[in-house]
Structure 1
Amino acid sequence: MATKTVLILGDGDFSFSASLGAALHSSEEKRHAAVLSSYLGIDPDDSKVRLLCTSFDTIEELYKKYGRPVETNLDILRGYNIPVRHGVDAVRLPEQMQGELFDVIIWNHPHLGVEDAKLHEVLMAHFAHSARRSLHEKGRILLCLVEGQAKRWNLIKSASLNGLHLLTKPRPFPLELFPSFRMVRNKTNQTFKNHQTQRQWVPGGNDAEVESMFSTLEFVDSRALGQHQLFCTERKAQEDLQSNQDGKSSS
């Protein structure tokens, strides 16, 4: 059974890492399979997953910004024996990861703490260059952004210039798979807000409305585009089949 490596970048209070770790160790087969196949793009039948969870801040800075939630989430990760690193810069991955390559690289809500589209365009260009050099040729990069950010930051163009291709159209972030994920700004510990995002998601709330505010963009190395497109076709067929089966069982 192959081992797939997943790198999580810039996880402020580590709530996403803890939620993903819990999902991967869940006894609920349906949730476990959905996280692997639908979100990570990993075959649940022939792959194990090794997570590496990171933050840009030092551990001291994290405790100062986020307080008790950081301690709780790091305890959860320790319970699953999931490694954690601090002070990891998303634009210096080859150097900081010492050449290690990953099958999936995840960065949720990259943000500099200021509303400056040009600065974020530069950030994303440097990230694309860095991430591609730390990605297995058949790997994928998952970015979660607030609606409108990709366009304002010229993300697709920056990625393309650095050898990355947007695999499918942006899709809603699957919040239902990560119920303990708390989306917070890196510097303020306040829930992520802008003109489109006025409240934090709560389980049982209007999921469809809130999901539309957050999108997952999936990028792959342009050299392996054909193989990824075939995988997407197969994944869509599996999801349609599962949806039909769920519909029959509930009727």
Structure 2
Amino acid sequence: MAKKGRKLAIKQSVKALYDRKRVARSRPGRPDGKVSTSGAMKKRGIKNQRNLASKSQQQKAAPELPNCLSNPKSNNTPFSTDDTILLVGEGNFSFSAALATLLGSAELITATCFDTEQEVQRKYPDAARHMATVKDLGGIVLHGVDATKLGLHEGLKAGRSNGRFSKIVFNFPHAGAGIKDQDRNILTNQHLLAGFFSSARQFLSSPLSGVQYTAQGPITPPSGQILVTLKTGIPYDDWGLVSLGKAAGYFVHHCTEFKSEFYPGYEHRRTIGWDATKEGNVEIEGKACKTWAFCDKKGAAAVASSRKLASKRAKKGQQGSKSSSVADSVLGEDLEGGGRDQDGKKSRKEKKKALAAKRKRHQADSDGSSDSD
């Protein structure tokens, strides 16, 4: 009985000690000035809520980021009228027609697709109209062009751009193999992109590519870029587009948002055609899509040098504005007070007069002090 009583007393004392510690931890403060665990957690929770609130306010107030490439027609597209453009993997050619209409000319546009002309017209009933638009605006339309083997098509080398393009565009690439297994489907599209990156290199322009002659006159194309547009989310994020580009020796130049309304008249089509996927033809509407721009080592070096030059010009402009403001203030003082030369300093005659007057005053003061003594 005595042993049982001792065990019971030990249990009760342990329970009481545990209860006291639990109560102490639940209090916001302690007598020794330390903050309890629960109190610290409450403070951290309040701080996190404040941080989230401030972040949400900043996101609401933050302006939209402008595109880093300018375009006279639109601020949302990475194309300009000086670009020589190669479009690969076109479906119904609605993007080619929309881009040509946006730029006002298709003379520097070469639009290609993998299918033959008969297959394109069978898959996409509206393709003939879009191809006619591109041709009417001076563009070139080529069929049977494999994006992974661009060098095998003689029509690309014999074009008016001398086989060099400042923009090589692949919008929504997809192998269209119809593979149900997700992993195999991802691998197939990765092979497609890797082959495209490798194949496109020889067609990228650079400042050393030479002058290209157009109807508007000779132009020097900028450093070439590869533009790939993809939807975001699963499974497209698993393709590893950026990693594939870097593995092929490219650098990410920039990434911008892609929306179909940026190109009036553009209608998305899937690889397998129109009739089989009527509800899927507008699958990009309301979904986030991005355009990734890649450039090679030469292009990255050119971009870096151009940015350095721009920063130097900006600094010089700031210094020039400061010096001009100083000159304006000096000129204003000269007009108001007179008697100053172009450097803003007093003329020599005025300096001599002021020095003589100072000496006279000093001599008069000294004479007066001697008389008083």
Q: Does 1:104 align with 2:173?
A: no
Other-structure match for 2:69: none
Q: Does 1:218 align with 2:304?
A: no
- What secondary structure sits across from 2:108 in the alignment? strand
Q: Does 1:88 align with 2:174?
A: no
Other-structure match for 2:232: 147
The whole-number CA distance in structure 1 between the counterparts of 2:249 and 2:278 is 33
| Equivalent residue for 1:187, pick from 251, 257, 272 | 272
> Between Structure 1 and Structure 2, which shows a larger proportion of strand residues?
1
Other-structure match for 2:136: 79
The whole-number CA distance in structure 2 between the counterparts of 1:75 and 1:198 is 23
| Equivalent residue for 2:260, pick from 175, 179, 182 | 175
Other-structure match for 2:122: 64
| Equivalent residue for 2:109, pick from 51, 68, 87 | 51
Quickly say closer, same or farther: Cα 1:200–1:218, change in 2 above 3 A. Answer: closer
CA contact (8 A) 2:260 2:267 kept: no
Other-structure match for 1:17: 96
Displacement of 1:198 in angstroms is 7.2
Say how many residue pairs are matched. Answer: 198
Displacement of 1:106 in angstroms is 0.6
The whole-number CA distance in structure 1 between the counterparts of 2:306 and 2:284 is 33
Identity of aligned residues (%): 27
Displacement of 1:78 in angstroms is 2.3
Deviations 1:173-213 (A, max 9, x none): 143321211111011323695xxx97454xxxxxxxx2x52
Correspondence list, 1:129-140, <5 A: 129-137=198-206, 138-140=223-225
CA contact (8 A) 1:13 1:70 kept: yes
The whole-number CA distance in structure 1 between the counterparts of 2:192 and 2:284 is 26
The whole-number CA distance in structure 2 between the counterparts of 1:147 and 1:183 is 16
- Unpaired segments ≥5 residues, structure 1: 27-47, 202-209, 235-251
- What secondary structure sits across from 1:167 in the alignment? strand
Quickly say closer, same or farther: Cα 1:63–1:171, change in 2 above 3 A. Answer: same
CA contact (8 A) 1:56 1:87 kept: yes
Q: RMSD between aligned alpha carbons?
A: 2.7
The whole-number CA distance in structure 1 between the counterparts of 2:267 and 2:174 is 15
Other-structure match for 2:251: 165
Farther-moved stretch of structure 1 (71-80 vs 100-109): 71-80
> Between Structure 1 and Structure 2, which shows a larger proportion of helix residues?
2
Q: Which amino acid aligns with 2:237?
A: K
TM-score by length of 1: 0.70
Displacement of 1:231 in angstroms is 6.0
CA contact (8 A) 1:150 1:156 kept: no
CA contact (8 A) 1:93 1:131 kept: yes
Larger radius of gyration: 2
The whole-number CA distance in structure 2 between the counterparts of 1:55 and 1:80 is 18
**Structure with larger RCO (C-alpha < 8 A, sep 6+):** 1
The whole-number CA distance in structure 1 between the counterparts of 2:293 and 2:100 is 20
Quickly say closer, same or farther: Cα 1:180–1:107, change in 2 above 3 A. Answer: same
